[in-house]
Structures are given as C-alpha cells and as structure tokens.
Structure 1
Amino acid sequence: MSLFRLDASINPAHSVTREIADVAQNAWQDTRPGAPVVRRDLGADPIPSGAWAAATLSGFVPVDEQDADQRAAQALAATLAAELVAAEAYLFAVPLYNYGVSQHFKTWVDLVLADPTFAAGGPRDAIAGRPAVLVTARGGGYGPGTPKEGWDHATPWMVRILADVLGLDVQVSAAELTLAELTPGMESLVDTARQSRDDARESARTQGRSLAERVVGASV
C-alpha cells in the first residue's frame, strides 16, 4: 500500500508545509511500517512551464507530425498520471503564494489533466474515492473577520481539483500566520501563529493515521 507525496514549496529549508507533511507521513509510516512512499518534489524538480501547452496542442497534430517537445510532454504527463494511479493514498504539501496556488502545483495539475487518464471527457474514476491529505500554509490570516478574508484563492481551488475533479476523499490541514515571527507589525500575532502551527501538526498526525486506516478499510 503506497503513499504518493507531492511537495511544492520553493524554500525547503524553512518550509512549513514540508514540516507538517512530515508529521502526516510519519504517522502513516507508523501505522503502515514498510509501506512505500513515492515522492515528487516540485520545488526541487519543477515541471517545465511549457509542458502543458505542448501536451495539449499535440492532440491536434497527427502522431507522425508531432515534434520532440510534444512527445516529451505527453510522456511526462503519462508518468505523472501513472504515479497517481499506482498509489493508494495521497499527501499534498502546497503553500499559498501571493494569495493563489503555487505555480509549480498548477503546472503539475494542468499536465496531469492533459493525460487521457484524467482528461476532460475521459474516465474520471481512475483514483476516485481514495484518501488524501492536503497540507497548506498561509503567511497571513484569512479567516472570517480578518482584513484578508476571502483572499485565499488557493485552498478552495486545490480542494476543488483534488476532490471534485480527481475524486479524492480529501482532508485539509492548514497553518496560518506563518510569517508572524518574521514580519514587522505582526508581533501581536506570534502566539496565535504558534498555536495554529501546533494545531496543524496535530491535525496532520491524526490525518496521517487516518490515511492508513482508510486504505486498509477500503481493501477489506
């Protein structure tokens, strides 16, 4: 029973999403010792920005007329899709950047959806119903009543893609105010930020165990 883990932070040495996802992964491995974890690190190894366009446009070109970039993009899309299909559970660690989704994660999603396995109009049940955890981190506060309420345009989109498009059974673990200790003017929010991070770690621990339990339950 394998876990597919995807990271999208561009700052691995200080990444909150990686830290919290590590907690979830450790809980998974404690519950399922020896179960493999397949990693894809989009921060260290980003998807080429032109791959989606090449893969998508190749569908309008006869096979014998496709160029090397189009064939390579199709092959990469097939690899990404195969990684998803081969796993039984999923862990996505994706931060909020500039009020929106990480460009690395968006490029990955676009290319996955360019493969026939997940393309619009194709079969949509390749991984439907499988359990997933989405770990995200936000430098500021975006909850009800905050000045930036409604400015998080990433989390709802990611849940929409993972749950409604790919059909995964998604749980979310989120930490807020992660820049409070580094940003002048946010000193009063440091304690709240630490509590949010602690809560996210505990949530991730619970969800990591749940991933393993839901996989076992689905296979019975």
Structure 2
Amino acid sequence: MATLLHLDSAVFPQGSASRDVTAAFVAAWREQHPDGQVVYRDLAADPLPHLDATATAAGADDALRGELAAELANADAVLIGAPMYNFSIPSTLKAWLDQVIIVGHNSGPGGPVTGTPFTVVASRGGSYAPGTPRADFEFVQNYLEKVLTGMLGAEVDFIVPELTLAHSKPEMAELIPLAEASRARAFTDASEKAKALAARLAA
C-alpha cells in the first residue's frame, strides 16, 4: 500500500492554481491506489512554527521535527503545491523544509528520503521560463530542486502552471490563450505523472 504525502501552501483555499492541480494529481493517484493512503498537510491553514534554537539543537528528538521527519520518511512519494510569492516559495513551505530537514538524521547520501520521488506544482502569475524577460527571477524551481536533491537526495519533477494572473490583470489580457494552454497542460501532466508514478511504485 503506497503512501503519498501531500502538502499545499497557497494562501487562498479557493481559486488557487497550485491547489487545483495538486487536487487533480491526488484524484489520479487515488484511482490507481484506492486502498492507498494520502497524508495531507495544509501549510497555509495550519502553519508550522519557524525553526528556533531549541528545536535546532534537539534535532529529531524535538517532538514536532521528529513527527515531520517520520511522516516524510514513511512516504513513498511526495506532492507539493508551491506557488510563487515574491519570486520565491511561501514562507510556510520554507518553515516545513527547515523543520523536516535534520542534518545527521535524514539529510545526506543514503538517508531515509534518498530516491523518494517529489512532484512539485510550481504555479506562478507570470512566466519565468528560460528566455523570458524575468527568467533570472525564478527562485522556486531553482531553490526546491537544489534543496530537495542536495539535502535529501530526492528525485524532483515539476509541473508549472504559469500566467495564472492573465484573467485578472488587464495588461495581461493578450496572454489569456497562453495561460489557458498552460493550465490545461498542467492538468494533463498531473494526471499522467500521478498515474505513471503510481504504476512505478506498484511494480
């Protein structure tokens, strides 16, 4: 029985591109694993405390950090909704990373998370793809790829719904067709990647 750890971090519970796409991923995952388990954390609705000196010194012996690390270690796959806020990840997601990554316990080669597949839905209001004017401002994929692979040894795959503000910003109206195409592609990717990952873990 496979376990999926699902984290959302978008501040708005409704109308969030990252939440919509992670929900589609979970739906496709459940189709493949009707008897599987999905462990869910809404980091916006139930934020974790920032890491402090006491928890840092305690490491895995800290009750919360130990709980989070065990939850991560027990997951066969991880799904993260990571919208771009001010060119980076939400502070609530950073708090989870700071709490869950414990040097000497689960970080470094051969740790309990090594090889675990992570799927990150990295939504953003504009486009920060290579070759675009703001490509140098992209600190969501760049950061998460480095921290998840470099600290935890995880596999990381991205789904990127972009131009999500096109419908609400008059100055972006001409980009609506591209935004709609990006959203449709994200839902297709979510379904296909969830099914492929579920089949891989069941093999």
Fold similarity call, TM over 0.5: yes
Question: What value does the CA root-mean-square deviation take over the aligned residues?
Answer: 1.8
CA separation of 1:180 and 1:53: change in aligned 2, threshold 3 A: farther
CA separation of 1:214 and 1:167: change in aligned 2, threshold 3 A: farther
CA contact (8 A) 2:107 2:151 kept: no
Which of the numbers 69, 80, 84 marks the counterpart of 2:72?
84
CA contact (8 A) 2:128 2:138 kept: yes
Q: Could you give the per-residue CA deviations for residues 19-70 of structure 1, whole angstroms, max 9, x where no partner exists?
A: 0011111111111112110001101111112x344311457xxxxxxxxxxx
Segments ≥4 residues shifted beyond 4 Å: none
Which of the numbers 72, 79, 83 marks the counterpart of 1:95?
83
CA contact (8 A) 2:160 2:186 kept: yes
Residue number in structure 2 paired with 1:174: 160
CA contact (8 A) 1:78 1:115 kept: no
**Identical pairs, percent:** 35
Q: Could you give the per-residue CA deviations for residues 125-175 of structure 1, whole angstroms, max 9, x where no partner exists?
A: 202112221111010111233221221111111111222321222221111
Residue number in structure 2 paired with 1:135: 121
Residue number in structure 2 paired with 1:27: 28
AA partner of residue 159 (structure 1): E
* TM-score, normalisation: structure 1: 0.85
Residue number in structure 2 paired with 1:40: 41
- In the alignment, is residue 105 of structure 1 matched against residue 93 of structure 2? yes
Residue number in structure 1 paired with 2:198: 212
Residue number in structure 1 paired with 2:172: 186
Larger CA Rg, structure 1 vs 2? 1
Whole-angstrom CA distance in 2 between matches of 1:119 and 1:153: 22
- Structure 2 unpaired stretches of 5+: none
CA contact (8 A) 2:148 2:154 kept: yes
CA separation of 1:116 and 1:80: change in aligned 2, threshold 3 A: farther
* TM-score, normalisation: structure 2: 0.92
What SS is found at the alignment partner of 1:181?
Answer: coil
